[in-house]
Structure 1
Amino acid sequence: MKSLQKLTKEQLDPYFLEWDRISVELAVLHRQREKRAKMVLEVGIELYKRLLSHCREALGEPDFEPLNGSERLSFIEGSPGTYAAYRQLAELFAELKKTVARKRIELKRSLE
Structure 2
Amino acid sequence: MKLSLKLTKEQLDPYFLEWDHILAQLAVLHKQRNKAAAEITQDGLTIYKKLLTHCRIALQDEGFEPLNGAERLLFIESSPSTYAAYRQLVELFVELKKIIARKRIEFKYLNES
1:67 aligns with 2:67: yes
Q: What SS does structure 2 have at the residue aligned with 1:54? A: helix
- The residue aligned with 2:42 is 42
1:110 deviation in Å? Answer: 1.1
Amino acid at match of 1:70: A
User: Do structure 1's residue 8 and structure 2's residue 20 form an aligned pair?
Assistant: no
Alignment pair present for 1:107 and 2:111: no
**What is the match of residue 28 of structure 1?**
28
Determine whether 1:91 maps to 2:91.
Answer: yes
SS of the residue aligned with 1:34?
A: coil
Q: Aligned pair count?
A: 112
| Structure 2: unaligned runs, 5 residues or longer | none
Q: Among the aligned pairs, what percent are the same residue?
A: 66
TM-score, normalising length from structure 1? Answer: 0.97
Question: Using CA pairs below 8 Å that are at least 6 residues apart, which structure has the higher relative contact order?
Answer: 1
Distance across 1 between alignment mates of 2:22 and 2:51: 14
Superposition deviation, residue 80 in structure 1:
0.4
The residue that corresponds to 1:52 in the other structure is 52
Q: CA deviation at 1:107?
A: 1.2
Secondary structure in 2 aligned to 1:35? coil
Q: Distance in 1 between matches of 2:54 and 2:111?
A: 21
Displacement, 1:69? Answer: 0.6
TM-score (norm 2): 0.96
CA RMSD across the alignment? 0.9
Q: Which runs of 5+ in 1 are unaligned?
A: none
